[in-house]
Amino acid sequence: MSTPGYRGPSAPTWDPTATVDPAEAEEFLCLLHQEHPTLGPVRPRLDQVRREIAESGTYAHTSTELTFGARTAWRNASRCIGRLYWRSLLVRDLRGVRTPKAVFAELVRHLEIAGGNRGDAPGSRRIRPVISVFAPARPGRPPETRLWNEQLIRYAGYRNTDGSVVGDPRYAEFTEAVTALGWRGKGSRFDVLPLVIESTLPGPRLFDLPRRVLVEVPLTHPEYPWFARLRLRWHAVPAISNMRLSIGGVSYPLAPFNGWYMGTEIGARNLADPDRYDQLPVVAARLGLDTSSETTLWRDRALVELNRAVLWSFERAGLRISDHHTESRRFLDHLAKEERAGRKTPADWTWIVPPLSGAATPVFHRYYHEADQRPNFYLDQETAELGRCGRTAAGARPQVCPFMDGRSCATAGPVDRLDPETFDGYAGATIQ
């Protein structure tokens, strides 16, 4: 017996060698045509798809199917509180993009679009939800191109000899992996990690993101000037890149997607967790709080001020962000809309309830339907390990990249010469 609202048994392990299940393809196509009756009868398309699966073990989605599938996968993502906006997801069809250099160019473009850069004036940026869908998996073949990174933008963690970490401890092992491949960061707290794009030939390649796509926010506080002296910052686009997109039985191993941040993701987790930036003791000391006993609730008081700083700073920068109270109410609006449409909304209570003042939000006081509804996103074991600690490719050797100021990058083949007109410099090892 399971508790309502909590995830039950995990989804079946993905078998890349298996052919597409015709029943799953049929279920998806029927769902599409049911929700979009203007597409006409589903039978002709079902017959075509069955023939393709019989001949090749898989089938190709139309652009309409891909767009509907990606948006519905967001609608079905049980751990996401921001699904009210699922129809607004911009779906980029990049199934024909395969080489590491071309994939990197499209990932850069993804961040440009998601960052909503419309000039330098205050309020000129509006973070928008985007997904970039690359080549699907083929039965019996390894993915042509894969990305090691858990998210497109994450900060390095440099482990000292005494065991302490400068930067983000969560990515200390990953930082060691890319360092072994030749990457050299500045050793500061907020060095942006390079993207590691791996193909069957020539192996993993490192690409540092251009400065222009790194939308970062220095954190200040509406009341405490000393907060700026903590020199904290965070990036504005949370682009998850290690989830496999599954649509109608077809898997897309590389399909990075983003929404925008809810403030608590930064202020109550990334900057506050003891195994991340662990800033609560620092903020509490600056506030002059009594930390001698937990009964003083110094952690709670520091947590509120840290989250106020995040929301204040993003709003001053004109960047889209949500507070947990507003987003909780919007999620209940989403539930009501889905119910009116005759659909159940899967939700994992442990993820939907915010990590700050959970009981003060309306999403706390109820149970949720929990099910593996498809299309959906899945984290596979191998990609989880790559995002955590990477791997050093056999035979990889350091070579000099033409746009990395003499620093070395690792590649098992010739270095791609990137167009300096397109890529205006690299930030991972140079950003202050």
Q: From residue 5, give the alpha-carbon distance in Å to each of 10, 164, 368, 370.
A: 14, 38, 4, 6
Residue 114 corresponds to which tokens in the numbers above?
């998601």
β-partners of residue 262 are 322
Residue 13's CB is within 10 A of a number of other CB atoms, namely: 8
Q: Are strands 216-218 and 195-199 parallel, antiparallel or unpaired?
A: unpaired
Active-site option among 144, 198, 216, 265: 265
Chain-centre distance for alpha carbon 162:
31
Active-site option among 83, 170, 244, 407: 83
* 389 a catalytic residue: no
* 30 a catalytic residue: no
Q: Which amino acid is at 300?
A: D
Q: Please give the radius of gyration of the chain, using alpha carbons only, rounded to the nearest integer.
A: 23
* 83 a catalytic residue: yes
Active-site option among 7, 45, 80, 244: 80
Chain-centre distance for alpha carbon 6:
22
Cα gap 54→65, rounded to integer Å: 20
* 112 a catalytic residue: no
Alpha helix stretches (DSSP H) within 57-148: 63-75, 100-114
Active-site option among 260, 298, 349, 407: 260
Q: From residue 109, give the alpha-carbon distance in Å to each of 2, 209, 262, 317, 414.
A: 43, 11, 23, 22, 24
Residues belonging to the active site = 80, 83, 260, 265
